[in-house]
Structure formats: C-alpha cells, structure tokens
A and B are shown apart, each in its own frame.
Chain A
Amino acid sequence: MSQLFSKKNKEVFATPLGLNNPVTVQVLGICSALAVTAKLEPAIVMGLSVTIITGFSNVIISLIRRTIPNRIRIIVQLVVVAALVTIVSEILKAFAYDVSVQLSVYIGLIITNCILMGRLEAFAMSNGPWESFLDGLGNGLGYAKILVIVAFFRELLGSGTLLGFRIIPQSVYDAGYINNGLMVMPPMALVIVACIIWWQRSRHKELQDK
C-alpha cells in the first residue's frame, strides 16, 4: 500500500496541479479553456470530464502499451480516447442534459485536447498503469483548476452570478453598475489565463525564462 502512495507517485499526481500545470506552464488545452469558461457550471463539468478521460485513457493505454505497434500508436490512442469521450458524452446527455447542450461540441472535441495526447505519448506509453492513472488525474485536475478559476472571474464580473445564483446585489446595479460585457467574450479568458501565468511565474523563479 505504501508502494502505491510513494513519494514519487505523490509527485506524479501533484506537479501537474502546480509547477507543471498543463494550462499555465505547458500552455496546452487553451482553446477549450476559452470556449467553456463563460459560466462556472459548464467549466466544472468540462474539467471533470477531461479528468475522467485523461485518467482512464492513461490506464488503458498503459495496460496495452507493450502490445501497441509503434507505427500505429497514435491511431490506437485515438480509438481509446474516442471511446471514452463517447461514453462521457452519452452520460452527460442522459443525466445533465442542460449542461451538455451548453458545452455543445466541446465535449466531443476533448478528443483533440492536446493535454490528452500529450500525456498518453509522454507518460502512459512508458509507465505502469497506476502511475499513469495518477498522472492522468493530476493533469485533468490541473486543467480543471485553471478552468474553474477563469470561469469564476468571468461569470462573477461578466454576469454578476456564480453557478447561476445572483452574487452582486440589485442595489449595486441600481447605483449604476453594469456587468462587464467583455468578460463574456472569449478574449477576456485569455487575459485571465495570462494573469494566472503572470502571478505563477512571479512567485516561482524557476518557471521564468532566462
């Protein structure tokens, strides 16, 4: 048991959440971070879906990594990811229809998410299933974390709500406050992601480019 949660495995899980975050450090998965973060709810669902898919696709690929012919490995990875994406998409349609309508094509487009293919290629192809599972979960949660932060600011400043509940009271609007319409548009997500990167790099000297 102690083997399962060794120091190395903890690191595999924890670094993508912080110092090797797929969004802010590797700058992957930006497209969907712009698209689904106008509201908090779809961002959380999107983050969880990606976490589940990265976790399980990493496990599956890691289990069959020795039998995949090297030349067609990308296709095999895609088949696995596509199967998982389809399952998640169907589950969302069945149990969270409204959110799946809001997310529209972006659930299907998880298949093209750079984080997924990156983790499969860089980690699952050369590590055991348990480590791969932790790595997949870590990266998925690292992605989800950034999505939730971005969506928090965009929904609060752009719509005055959080998860659909009104946060900014009506009296503030009566006093002349107006929601920032730019926050609802995708470019502002880029600015917020940039601010997170700025903050992270100014805190961690080792992330700064020479």
Chain B
Amino acid sequence: MKGLRNYLNKIKPNFEKGGRLHALHSFFDGMETFMFVPHTTSRTGTNIHDAIDSKRIMILVVIALLPALLFGMYNVGYQHFTHVAAFTQTPMTAGFWEMFFYGLLAVLPKIIVSYVVGLGIEFAVAQWKGEEIHEGILVTGILIPMIVPVDCPLWMLAIATAFSVIFAKEVFGGTGMNVFNVALVTRAFLFFAYPTKMSGESVWVSGDSIFGLGQTVDGMTAATSLGIASTAKAADAFPPFSWDMVTGLIPGSIGETSVIAILIGAVILLWTGVASWKTMLSVFVGGAVVAGLFNVSGIDTAMAHMPWYEHLCLGGFCFGAVFMATDPVTSARTETGKYIYGFLIGAMAIIIRVLNPGYPEGMMLAILLMNVFAPLIDYCVVQGNISRRMKRVSTQK
C-alpha cells in the first residue's frame, strides 16, 4: 500500500500543469482518488463531510451487487446446460464449475464493454470540461450487464451505454445531477430500440458454445415466468410458485433472478447505511398491496391471478427495489417522500404487469416514471411541512 502511494507521489508531477503527461491528468486524478481518499478539503463555505466519500460509497454498492452477479453467472451456465439437455434430449453432465465458468465467460465481455464505453465517455468529458472524473460509472457499469438478457449483443450494449451516459447523465451535468437512473435508461433504450433482443422467448437462455464450453443449438426457446403468465390464455395458467423462483434458478436477466443473492446485497446496503430501508420496504409493500388487490379483484387474466408473493419474487422486482429504487440521486430525498416514492414504484410495477399485456415486466418503467415525480414528491412534503409549522406558529399567537 505504502509502495503504491510512494509510486503515485513520484509520478504525480508529470500530470500537473506543465508536466509531460498533463493531457492525461483527469485519468491520473481519477485513478488516484479511486485508490486513495483524497486529502484535500473544500476551500469555501462550511462543509460537513462523512468519513467515506462518494467513491467509497460506490464501491460498497458494487460489493453489495457481487452476490447477485456471481449467482447470475452460475445461473447463466445452469440455464444453458439444463435447457440444452432438455432440448437435445441428452442427460446433463456439466458440474458446478463448468456452469460457473460458462456463465463467467458469457457475462464478463458485457461487464468489460459497459465499463470501457462508460469510463471512456466519462474520461473524455472530464478532460474536455477540465473537471474531475465522476465516479457514478463505477456502479452503473456493473448494473448494466446485470439487467440485460444473456443474449444481448455487445454492440447494442455499447450503443445503449453510450446513449444513456451522454443523454441521461452528462447533459444534465454529470454524476449526481441526473434525473433518471442511468442503468435503467440503458435498459429502456435497448428495450424500445431492439425489442427482439430484449424480450420474447429466445434471448433469456444462451444457445451458444463459448470457448468450447457448452453446446451451440439453434431455435431453443425459454420464456421467463412473467412472459409465460402474460401470454397465458387461461386465468390459472401462470407458472406455479416454486422455490426456484426464490433461489433464482429460472431464466431471466443476468443479475435479477435470485431473491436470496439480492437479499444478501440488501443486507450489506442497509448495514452500511448506503440505501434507505424506507424506500426498499415501501416498494415491497406497494407491490404486495396492489398485487393482493388484483388477486381479489376478479380480473380474469393469469397476471391478475398470480399470487402477490410470486409477483414480488419474479422478474426485476427485487433487483429494482433494492438496487434501483434506492439510488440516492434519483429517488425522493425527504423521509416521508421515500415512503410515497417507494410505494408508488411497487404499485405501478404491478399495475403495468397486470394491465398492459405488452409489457410483462413493469419494474423498469415504474422506476423511470417515479424518477420524474421524485422532485415533485419532495416539494409537496417540504411544503406540507412548512405549512404545518406555519399553522402551529399562527395558532400560538
């Protein structure tokens, strides 16, 4: 550690004004503050600083995401080998490590692409504006591969990442100023621009052989449970609840399937105080209440008849509730506002699922929609607070 610090101190003058490598100063600056907490403080105004800065917070979120990511890799392999075995009607022989490495090789290029594109734009903008590098891409870069299907091509991922980093973040002024969750904008862009690669029956399970692992098969299909429920003709034709939906051994976007792995992440986020339990809890409450209402409403579709606990386990509900809705930048910031914001996300996600057969999953759209309303919710809460206090003052007169 000390050696690294000394080495950085030694090469630092090269990057300062007038140094040989000044053109790369934002890159150096970003790397230095990434590895060591900067020892400079604000010069103006009164500031209260937390012991950890935003780069350290981002790292905590990335750590919280790791269980879901690692499980997602295993699940990609597991889904591939089981579905290929069922499709070709041969017994499945792959072991745990073979499945995991298959998944690792399938997911790793996506992570690299999203980080390279995102960081590239981030560095370029920082250099151009002469500002420091923002750290937001640390989390966004790992979220993006986790919320896409395994068959999403890399060039699409690159275009979508570039689009959302530029138009959802940089034009608003960079990390901390964005209105929308950047990772979700990436997914929304993919979803609307390339619907054939983001939904349907053929994208959720990889049918390719990667570096000799696995088997290439054509025409293999596997719908997600929500996909089956949304196209079901009979009202009770939704997939019955099973523990695979909790452990996550079902087809779906890479990181979103396992409730248990996401729960571990949620515990890390709550224990370190990065995410708000109020938002998280109220998303689940909102989803459960609305799904329960649909259960007793008598609407005759499979989605409406699906039990509320199954709704909460399937699709991106858990992932969205834990990692997306709690994003401190785009969510409501007042304490009462967090309850309202979370509740409406959960409610809206289930409403979209049940009432709009075109969208089997509503979590992405629900969070993006509530991102727009978060400032309004905050405004109402603050104004309500002010008028309540004003009333108290005026009655005391």
Residues of A whose CB lies within 8 Å of any CB of B are 176, 178, 180-183, 185, 191, 198
Q: Are B153 and A176 in contact (CB under 8 A)?
A: yes
Flag whether B189 is at the interface (Cβ < 8 A): yes
Q: Are A182 and B167 in contact (CB under 8 A)?
A: no
Q: Are B167 and A181 in contact (CB under 8 A)?
A: no
Number of A-B contacts (CB under 8 A): 20
Per the bound structure, the CA–CA distance linking A198 and B194 in Å amounts to 26
Q: Are B153 and A183 in contact (CB under 8 A)?
A: no
Other-chain residue from B156, B167, B193, B196 in contact with A183 (beta carbon distance below 8 A): B193
Flag whether B195 is at the interface (Cβ < 8 A): yes
Other-chain residue from B153, B192, B197 in contact with A182 (beta carbon distance below 8 A): B192
Chain A residues with CB under 8 Å of B153's CB are: 176
Q: Are B167 and A180 in contact (CB under 8 A)?
A: no
Per the bound structure, the CA–CA distance linking A182 and B155 in Å amounts to 16
What distance in Å separates the Cβ of A69 from its nearest Cβ neighbour in chain B?
46
Q: Identify the closest chain B residue to A191 (Cβ).
A: B167
Chain B residues with CB under 8 Å of A180's CB are: 159, 193-194
Chain A residues with CB under 8 Å of B192's CB are: 181-182, 185
What distance in Å separates the Cβ of B163 from its nearest Cβ neighbour in chain A?
9
Q: Identify the closest chain A residue to B195 (Cβ).
A: A181
* Minimum-distance CB pairs A-B, first 3: A182-B193, A180-B193, A182-B192
Per the bound structure, the CA–CA distance linking A85 and B46 in Å amounts to 63
Per the bound structure, the CA–CA distance linking A181 and B195 in Å amounts to 8
Q: Are A182 and B189 in contact (CB under 8 A)?
A: yes
What distance in Å separates the Cβ of A153 from its nearest Cβ neighbour in chain B?
13
Residues of chain B in range 157-201 having any CB-CB distance to chain A below 8 Å = 159, 167, 171, 189, 192-197
Chain A residues with CB under 8 Å of B196's CB are: 178
Per the bound structure, the CA–CA distance linking A176 and B208 in Å amounts to 15
- Residue of A176, A180, A185 contacting most chain B CB atoms (<10 Å): A180
Chain B residues with CB under 8 Å of A181's CB are: 192-195
Q: Are B197 and A178 in contact (CB under 8 A)?
A: yes
What distance in Å separates the Cβ of B169 from its nearest Cβ neighbour in chain A?
14
Per the bound structure, the CA–CA distance linking A185 and B193 in Å amounts to 9
What distance in Å separates the Cβ of B353 from its nearest Cβ neighbour in chain A?
22
Chain A residues with CB under 8 Å of B195's CB are: 181
Q: Can you name 20 A-B residue pairings with CB atoms under 8 Å?
A: A176-B153, A176-B155, A178-B156, A178-B194, A178-B196, A178-B197, A180-B159, A180-B193, A180-B194, A181-B192, A181-B193, A181-B194, A181-B195, A182-B189, A182-B192, A182-B193, A183-B193, A185-B192, A191-B167, A198-B171
Per the bound structure, the CA–CA distance linking A180 and B197 in Å amounts to 11
Chain B residues with CB under 8 Å of A185's CB are: 192
Q: Identify the closest chain A residue to B153 (Cβ).
A: A176
Q: Identify the closest chain A residue to B188 (Cβ).
A: A182
What distance in Å separates the Cβ of B191 from its nearest Cβ neighbour in chain A?
9
Chain B residues with CB under 8 Å of A191's CB are: 167
Chain B residues with CB under 8 Å of A182's CB are: 189, 192-193
Per the bound structure, the CA–CA distance linking A182 and B171 in Å amounts to 20
What distance in Å separates the Cβ of B184 from its nearest Cβ neighbour in chain A?
15
- Residue of A181, A183, A185, A198 contacting most chain B CB atoms (<10 Å): A181
Per the bound structure, the CA–CA distance linking A183 and B157 in Å amounts to 16
Chain A residues with CB under 8 Å of B189's CB are: 182
Q: Identify the closest chain B residue to A188 (Cβ).
A: B193
- Residue of B155, B192, B194, B195 contacting most chain A CB atoms (<10 Å): B192
**Given A180-B194, A185-B192, A191-B167, 5 more pairs with CB closer than 8 A:** A176-B153, A176-B155, A180-B159, A181-B194, A198-B171
Mask of B279-312 contacts with A, CB within 8 angstroms, 1/0: 0000000000000000000000000000000000
Q: Identify the closest chain B residue to A183 (Cβ).
A: B193
Q: Identify the closest chain A residue to B156 (Cβ).
A: A178
Q: Identify the closest chain B residue to A158 (Cβ).
A: B193
Chain A residues with CB under 8 Å of B193's CB are: 180-183
What distance in Å separates the Cβ of B12 from its nearest Cβ neighbour in chain A?
33
Per the bound structure, the CA–CA distance linking A116 and B50 in Å amounts to 57
What distance in Å separates the Cβ of A79 from its nearest Cβ neighbour in chain B?
41
Chain B residues with CB under 8 Å of A176's CB are: 153, 155
What distance in Å separates the Cβ of B375 from its nearest Cβ neighbour in chain A?
21
What distance in Å separates the Cβ of B161 from its nearest Cβ neighbour in chain A?
14
Per the bound structure, the CA–CA distance linking A185 and B188 in Å amounts to 13
Per the bound structure, the CA–CA distance linking A191 and B167 in Å amounts to 9
What distance in Å separates the Cβ of B128 from its nearest Cβ neighbour in chain A?
11
Per the bound structure, the CA–CA distance linking A180 and B159 in Å amounts to 10
Residues of chain B in range 110-157 having any CB-CB distance to chain A below 8 Å = 153, 155-156
Chain A residues with CB under 8 Å of B171's CB are: 198
Per the bound structure, the CA–CA distance linking A178 and B167 in Å amounts to 22
What distance in Å separates the Cβ of A99 from its nearest Cβ neighbour in chain B?
27
Per the bound structure, the CA–CA distance linking A202 and B191 in Å amounts to 31
Per the bound structure, the CA–CA distance linking A183 and B194 in Å amounts to 10
